[in-house]
Amino acid sequence: MNLVGKILVILIFLMSIAFMAFSCTVYSTHRNWAELINKKDTGYKARLDAEQKRNQDLQLQLTALNNKANELEAARRQSLAKLESERDQLTKERETLLASNTELNTKNASLTTEVTGKLDDVKTKLDQVASLRGDVATAQAERDENLKKFVEEQDKANQQEFEKRRLEALSTRLAEQAAKSRILLDRAGMNPDSPVDGQPPSIDGVVLASNRDLVEISLGSDMGLSRGNQLDVARGAKYVGRIEVIETQPDRAVGRVLPTYQKAKIQKDDRVYTRLQ
């Protein structure tokens, strides 16, 4: 046997060993495929059925999702169409507003120029008003001073007029009283020039104020009252007391209350008589 034959024999032997090992490996990995396919729940057939059912469910879900997507797409297209319509409307409104804004800017510029001129006129008028206010203030001060002087003179004139009327009324009253007194004296057979022994004329008045044992009355020396005269005081029909004149003025007098004759406290507005009627 030559060298080539030996090599072929060795190769055949090695291949036999490899085939035997391959056969052992195939045998060791051999499975019962029928059992694996038909095995309940976990077999390939059961798994295939489950996957097919799952695939059907997914197909139904896909169909529902496609319908929903179609609805959303239709709604999107409607919204888009509506938005495009609104955009066109807003574009038109914007163009209108831009045109109106341009017109307003033109009017504003014109009004600004006009207002500037008016402001200049107003400033001039304000300067004139300020000057006039100064003149008015001066005139008002002079008027107030003249009015004050006029009021003072008017008050003096009114006081003089009041005093004149009071004196005229007093003179008339005294003349009437003198005439009556002469008639009474004539009837009584008395001389008007004879002394009266300090007796006051027949007059009456009211108590102006009362303070403890002093009272102020509305009768005075112009009515013939003098110090030392005694006057009776009454409140309505009630006799209150008697006072003695201690001080006189032309139109009023102050008297001292005589405790001996006092029946009640003398008060303001009580009547005062030279004698009770």
pLDDT in tens, the chain (277 residues): 577 777 888 888 888 888 888 877 766 665 555 666 666 666 667 777 788 888 888 888 889 898 988 888 888 889 888 898 888 899 998 999 989 888 888 888 888 888 888 888 888 888 888 888 888 888 888 888 888 888 888 888 888 888 888 888 877 877 777 677 666 655 544 445 444 555 667 788 999 999 888 999 999 988 888 899 999 999 988 999 999 999 999 999 999 999 999 899 999 999 998 854 4
The three-class DSSP label of residue 240 is: strand
Give the CA angle between residues 162, 168, 169 to the nearest 5°: 90
The DSSP string of 109-140 is: HHHHHHHHHHHHHHHHHHHHHHHHHHHHHHHH
Q: Classify residue 185 by burial, with Cβ atoms within 10 Å: 0-12, 13-18, 19+.
A: middle
Read off φ and ψ for residue 236, nearest 5 degrees.
70, -125
Asked whether the beta carbons of 235 and 264 are under 8 A apart, the reply is yes
> Would you give the distance in Å from CA 132 to the centre of its chain?
36
Amino acid identity, residue 146?
N
Three-state SS for 209? strand
Contact in structure between 210 and 272 (CB atoms under 8 Å): no
Q: Are 242 and 231 in contact (CB under 8 A)?
A: yes
